[in-house]
Amino acid sequence: MTKQSLRLLVVTCVVVSWAAATELARVRQKGGVHVTSSTLKWVMGMGRRLPPHSVPVVEEDPSTVWCRVKQHSTYTAGALHKGVCTVPFINAVHTFDQDFEVLVSLNGSSRVLRKPWDKYQAPPPNAVAAEHHCLLALFMAEDGTAHAGYLEPRERRAYIVRGTKVVKEESASILVEDEPLRYDLRDIKLDGLRTEVSPDEVELTSVTLLNPGSTHQRIVEPATVTVRHLVYWGRVKGTLAGRNALVISPDGEQRHLVWGDQNELDRAHQLLLEADLPPGTGSNARVLATIRKTEAPYTGKLTSIYADGGRLARTIQGLHMDQRLIELRAVYSPPFYLHNKTELDVPGLSRILYQSTTTTSTTTTTTSTTTTTETPKTKTASFPEKPQSDSLSLGVVTLFSGTVPATAPMQVYFLLSSALLFFLL
Ligand SMILES: *[C@@H]1O[C@H](CO)[C@@H](O)[C@H](O)[C@H]1NC(C)=O
Ligand SMILES: *[C@@H]1O[C@H](CO)[C@@H](O)[C@H](O)[C@H]1NC(C)=O
């Protein structure tokens, strides 16, 4: 290895270790369990320049932000001002102009509160920690100035820097991460939409219609198919999966979803399969589905809504996916004699049972599906006249969507998730 390439390698290692020195912050929950924050992280400080979205000690003074330093393998926390991180360390004030970390809000996604604490109570839930026994604390002096330090929960004491001294306080304000109750996503712009209609129709069920009688009859069989509609708006950094979210899709449709999850919005379609059959014949009816899958990166305005009504909006980027039914079709085989299975010389029939009413525009996707139809819709389709002496006709196909009671429903769960799951992983 040449000297030069060795030097390159060393430089690379340094860069990598610097980049790796950013760490998600941890917050202390009720009972003392620490969990990783979804919106706060520690990044290496860089002289006097504050990293973007540094978290101020108090909102009124953005030039003084939270910092931490590692000493003798433990962290202590304090305030960074003009490139100097000042922390209490036991009973002495220590200052650092390098090797300190700054608390930042991931893309400005975090909302922090300062909650009162005193030695008679446990730290408030979601207290931001520099490490396990070090919670970020500040003390407001009578003159309104803020002094930073940390709370040691076991000692029930806050160590606060006041001038050149460390003062032990029995009450303080504790920095806590506020978690949104729910999200609101709107102003969505889809970019580079890819739409794929499944090339093969998927068979959801098949039903055999039989006329064993001695007269010409209309045979009716109910069938229920459940088709899974999948909607996904992505896992976005700095957001909590599992919260309720209201999403207003580009076509204006509003939908309540679970944030960060693939939402499965199953919908049952109740169908009636009908055929006019001559005596002693049958026909196989297959129900086929056409599925459309859409994917697109998007940008949108995500608003976090907090318990106290507070709101925090930001622009996010994510990946949207949607997989839905666009058409259901029944395909009837030519009638056949029941006793010897010979097909009559009559063509089969194909009838559309359901069509999505959503726009198929390729510039915007939609998460809307047709809502359940309130009134049964009936469509009739006649076969062409059959020039045959036995006057067979598979005459009429009736279609209901909605309210037909299915006496013998055939539930078919149609799982399309594998491809999508693959994508998510
Ligand atoms: C955070 O911000 C950076 C730069 O502004 C951007 O590239 C990134 O996509 C953002 N991350 C999220 C999750 O929005
Ligand atoms: C089956 O039965 C029908 C009517 O009984 C008859 O017309 C047809 O030829 C039969 N087919 C065979 C293969 O025997």
Q: What's the CA-to-centroid distance between 172 and ligand 2, angstroms?
A: 95
Q: How far apart are CA 101 and CA 142, in angstroms?
A: 29
Compute φ and ψ for 18, nearest 5 degrees: -65, -45
Ligand 1 mutation target, pool 107, 109, 299, most atoms within 8 A of CB: 107
Domain 182-382 belongs to what topology?
Proaerolysin; Chain A, domain 3 (2.170.15)
Atom of ligand 2 nearest to the CA of 340: 1
For 19, residues 6+ apart whose C-beta sits below 8 A from its C-beta are none
Ligand 1 mutation target, pool 259, 317, 319, most atoms within 8 A of CB: 317
Q: Where are the domains of the chain?
A: 3-178, 182-382, 393-425
| Amino acid (1-letter code) at residue 73 | S
Give 321-341 as a DSSP string.
EEEEEEEEEEEEPPPEETTT-
Q: Ligand 2 pocket by C-beta < 6 Å: which residues? A: 337, 340, 342
Q: What is the pLDDT along the chain (425 residues), one digit of tens a residue?
A: 444 443 443 333 333 333 345 789 999 998 899 999 989 999 999 888 999 999 999 999 999 999 999 988 899 999 999 999 999 998 899 999 999 999 999 888 899 999 999 999 999 999 999 998 999 999 999 998 999 999 999 999 999 999 999 999 999 999 999 999 999 999 999 987 787 777 778 899 999 999 999 999 999 999 999 998 899 998 888 898 999 999 999 888 899 999 998 998 888 999 999 999 999 999 999 999 999 998 999 999 999 999 999 999 999 999 999 998 999 999 999 999 999 999 999 888 999 999 887 643 332 223 332 223 222 333 332 232 232 322 222 222 222 222 222 322 222 222 222 333 333 33
Atom of ligand 1 nearest to the CA of 106: 1
**Does ligand 1 lie within 6 Å of residue 299's CB atom?**
no
Ligand nearest to the CA of 52: 1
Q: How far apart are CA 9 and CA 272, in angstroms?
A: 71
Q: Which protein residue's CA is at the shortest distance from atom 13 of ligand 2? A: 342
Q: What's the CA-to-centroid distance between 297 and ligand 1, angstroms?
A: 13
Give 73-118 as a DSSP string.
TEEEEEEEETTEEEEEETTEEEEESSSEEEEEEGGG--EEEEEEEE
The CA–CA distances, whole Å, from 303 to 86, 132, 300 equal 35, 31, 10
Q: How far apart are CA 117 and CA 123, in angstroms?
A: 6
Q: What pTM does this model have? A: 0.66
Rg (CA), the chain: 33
Give me 74's structure tokens.
């433990």
Ligand nearest to the CA of 335: 2
Cα diameter, the chain:
110
